[in-house]
Every structure is written in C-alpha cells, then in structure tokens.
C-alpha cells in the first residue's frame, strides 16, 4: 500500500501544525476543523484501521490521548469534546492511516454533529452476540 498523507506529515515532508510528538505518536491540528482546536492524534505506525494496530502503538496512543484532550480543551477554553475514530470508507474514514479526532464542542455551537439512530437490544440477541464476541476474544 502506498504511503498516506499522514506518513508524509509525520516525516515532515508536508507541513502541519504539530502539537505533540513522541517515539510512537504524532498529533497536529486538522486542516478542516469542525471546531477550533480540532486535533488529530496519529500513531506513527501506518496501520490502516484500529483493529490492525499493534499493542505497542495502541498503548502509546491510549497513554497520551487524555493528556492531549486536556491540553486542547484548556487551550481553547472548551469543556466538552468528542473523540472520534473512523475505520473504513463506509464509516467515513478518508485517510487510510489510523487517527483519533479530538473535537472540541464549544458552548456557542459547532463541533461534531452526530446522527444516533438507536435501536433496542433484545435479551436473546444480546446473549447470542455477547457470546459470539467473547468467543472471538477467547481465541486471543
């Protein structure tokens, strides 16, 4: 697979407004923000979707995400925010390199709009689905 724009940003070939970098993680401002401070937190590992990410990179992202969220909210004077992570074209993933959006939700409006067409979980379906997922997890 050819490299993505995020790999080129991480390498410094394409300019970005960097807010954080360590050995495994790079974070920068989104070029088309949903709200001021909209930040992308990206593992340097070029996995396409979250399920393909190594435990090392996942741990590195998990360790720093709350800190970056705190910094973005403090810098923008925002209290509420969304963390969004899209996987696959149908799920609105435009750049095929894992990334987490940290999107402030200003009191004045803006930020992420979410359609949430919730259903209802029947007891039998819940039992069957939870069992199926747990069985997959038990495989390792």
Question: Which residues of the shown chain bind ligand AMP in the complex (CB under 6 A)?
Answer: 5, 14, 16, 30-32, 40, 86, 92-95
Do 36 and 76 contact (CB within 8 A), yes or no? yes
Nearest-approach distance from CB 79 to ligand AMP, in angstroms: 22
92 vs 120, beta carbon nearer ligand AMP: 92
Q: CA nearest 25: which of 82, 117, 99?
A: 99
Which is the catalytic residue, given 17, 92, 97, 99? 99
31 vs 129, beta carbon nearer ligand AMP: 31
Strands 25-29 and 39-43 turn out to be antiparallel
Alpha helix locations (H) across 3-122?
5-11, 55-76
Specify whether 92 is catalytic: no
Query: Which positions are annotated as active-site residues?
Result: 99
């Amino acid at each position: 697979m050819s490299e993505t724009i995020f790999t080129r940003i991480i390498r410094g070939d394409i300019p970005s407004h960097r807010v954080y970098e360590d050995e495994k993680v790079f974070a920068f401002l989104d070029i088309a923000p949903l709200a001021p401070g909209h930040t992308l937190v990206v593992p340097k590992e070029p996995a396409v979707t979250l399920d393909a990410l190594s435990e090392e990179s996942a741990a590195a992202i998990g360790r720093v995400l709350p800190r970056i969220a705190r910094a973005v909210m403090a810098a923008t004077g925002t209290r509420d925010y969304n963390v969004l992570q899209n996987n696959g074209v149908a799920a609105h993933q435009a750049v095929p390199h894992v990334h987490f959006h940290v999107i402030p939700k200003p009191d004045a409006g803006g930020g992420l709009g979410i359609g949430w067409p919730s259903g209802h979980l029947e007891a039998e379906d819940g039992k069957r689905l939870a069992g199926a997922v747990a069985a997959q997890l038990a495989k390792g």
